[in-house]
A and B are shown apart, each in its own frame.
Chain A
């Protein structure tokens, strides 16, 4: 199939406009998109102009059709992207969302003219991870990861409607009373720090989270025999976070409670 993006025509084998743009080296902003998740195209920061379409279309989910002509940096596109970022920045604390902050800069968004985000409101109801929905952009990634895309535990869902929509357990019960199994696969996909490992949260609170100094070492989970690759994030000779590579065939970025949080036994010194 042939697709023309920003004046350059190329051949692609199916996929989405985002895939094609990436293949051509065009950096398209994304927030709700995840390589291992079904696109929900909710954030709309990836919208592009498709000739012949009445509205802009989401690059992350729109499948390429032969002969498409797409503009990724037109005035229309830039305006919508800038406005999406202003709308988010006016309603959400983006301070731990590096990607979103970079896009705010890139598109010259001024969220303050629309409103002021809420103050931090961390909910600490277990020792493994912390939720702060003042940082939530409702990208649905955690719901997808907890749901059919990965974990299939369905401990959380989007509840409410409109501006009142939020991520919630049933009846908003605390995590220990919910169906949560603490796999942390939601934490792994959260793009804004609304979900954060407790260790990272505590280190940040103490002003001692130094991501740029952290080493990342891949090894294999020491528990069951499935063979999940663990990426150990190490600071001061201690594990401060565990993830798994998205492109690892066995895990696709996912772990269970033991793999993600069960490392403390090797830290008691």
Chain B
């Protein structure tokens, strides 16, 4: 956000908030311990508002739940913005001093009256108004989102629409107010921190910046190419076009995790060379030419990860990895040696110290300090810096040099349109006890795993399409079909169905999903698939 990619605030501020908005986030199940912080606030009397097509467990905790149509977040946010402006709830001083582009933004949301938003989103105007007023009036508000916002073909625009709300009301850059994209994987934030994104080097340093590259070139004794790399979805496109012929996959299972799975598997199979480094022989690894057995992060590896609140924390080894499995760093360093390059000591702390020497925002985070403080939130510029509870405090300086721009965004409905042949909207999400493609969470048994591969249907839809509660059903999308059991879920409204991605060996949900991807983030529209149901005799 405005530069470095990370949530602007801390869990501590969430606990102290007056208002928490979860938008496209089912933290109760997907981020259970973050939700503990939400509940501390709720039990203290804070208001919780949840925006989600499903009445999720998180939504059930809410004072107010808004069940919008899938993919109508921008109309909803625009109407909230318009109402905040109309009701005089903007922070005019902040807008004038710290932002740019307000007039154009105001123009852009003008068409989104409460009634018009109700027509497009399905959410009653009164509830939209209530959200606008609650957000506009709260002293300390946290606006949090997850994949409900980002797994869309216009993910980045969705995020912009939410950031605009914070800019309108001055709810960013000060203690108590923040924007929090909750991270789905234990180190997805750390991956970004370390430059595992197409356009940045470690510490979110711009790869096109000559001075930055010069620093890395000098340290690494090689030349960093002055170009942006590819997103995952961009890689698949490049495979499709034959531009990408060899792939090295570390700790991912794209054969089952990508939207439009049939296509993903075909492209991976068609590569000249596929290397997979993983702790399991995943579906992807089964397609590989070379499999490098890796040590598990849990219990077998040393290093650091970065959490959703930008906190860098130590990962520690408890025992040796089994058999020939080796630590990820060790494998990469050995590979480099085979390729004629000595990367130095593969000790995790040495690697980390190299990060600190090249990434200014991590400079103050010695292992000793990470131990002592139980993790440090970036940026941490030197060894006296306690780290940052929140970001963008500079927006409250008297003179703001680099103003935060309002972003004008347009509503763009889901790509996979509903029609008579595909009348139901299928959305996807995570379950409490499971995780991603189930590679890890499939390893233990629990009563919560029961019925995990089912499709959840509104009882009305079950009746309408002749699918009984518990019956087998074939689910057909424009890309493929799968068969599973149906279960009625009264928290779903008619027209909306739900599946997860955790049990791909039982039901390959991603055979159905569409790989319409956001050009900026590279994320596919997992949240909006058009389907029909066919009863199975």
Contacts and interface: CB of A to CB of B under 8 A. Distances in A.
Interface stretch (B66-74, B221-229, B314-322): B314-322
A266 B279 contact: yes
Contact of B374 (A152, A215, A229, A267): A229
Interface string A215-249: 10111111111111110101001110000000011
B447 A225 contact: no
Question: Chain A CB within 10 Å — which of B12, B306, B320, B447 has the most?
Answer: B447
B39 A223 contact: no
Contacts of B446: 126-128, 182, 257, 261
A221 B296 CA distance: 12
Interface of B: 11-12, 30-34, 36, 39, 43, 182-189, 279-280, 296-300, 305-309, 311, 313-320, 322-323, 374-375, 432-433, 435, 439-448, 450
B447 A126 contact: yes
Given A218-B316, A227-B309, A265 B34 contact: no
B33 A256 contact: yes
For the residues of A in contact with B, the DSSP-based class is loop
Given A219-B298, A222-B440, A269-B323, 20 more contacts: A182-B446, A219-B299, A223-B441, A224-B184, A225-B31, A226-B183, A227-B186, A227-B313, A230-B298, A232-B318, A234-B318, A237-B320, A254-B36, A257-B448, A262-B444, A263-B444, A264-B444, A266-B279, A266-B298, A267-B443
Contacts of B308: 225-227
5 contacts: A148-B43, A217-B318, A259-B33, A262-B443, A265-B279
Contacts of A218: 314, 316
A109 B466 CA distance: 68
Contacts of A135: none
Nearest to B30: A224
Interface of A: 126-128, 148, 150-152, 175-176, 180-183, 215, 217-230, 232, 234, 237-239, 248-252, 254-259, 261-269
B15 to A, nearest CB: 10
Nearest to B187: A225
Nearest to B302: A219
B435 A226 contact: no
Given A220-B314, A232-B299, A258-B433, A225 B183 contact: yes
Contacts of A259: 33
Nearest to A178: B447
A224 B186 contact: yes
Nearest to A127: B445
B313 A229 contact: yes
A265 B443 contact: yes
Nearest to A225: B183
B87 to A, nearest CB: 33
A225 B184 contact: yes
Contacts of B450: 176
Contacts of B39: 152
B374 A251 contact: no
A220 B441 contact: no
Nearest to A223: B435
Contacts of B445: 127
A150 B308 CA distance: 20
Nearest to B445: A127
B320 A266 contact: no
B316 A217 contact: yes
Question: Chain A CB within 10 Å — which of B33, B185, B186, B309 has the most?
Answer: B33
Nearest to A238: B319
A268 B202 CA distance: 34
B451 to A, nearest CB: 12
A227 B307 contact: yes
B533 to A, nearest CB: 29
A151 B29 CA distance: 12
A143 to B, nearest CB: 15
A227 B439 CA distance: 20
Contacts of A234: 299, 318-319
Nearest to A181: B432
Contact of A266 (B186, B299, B306, B323): B299
B443 A219 contact: no
B308 to A, nearest CB: 4
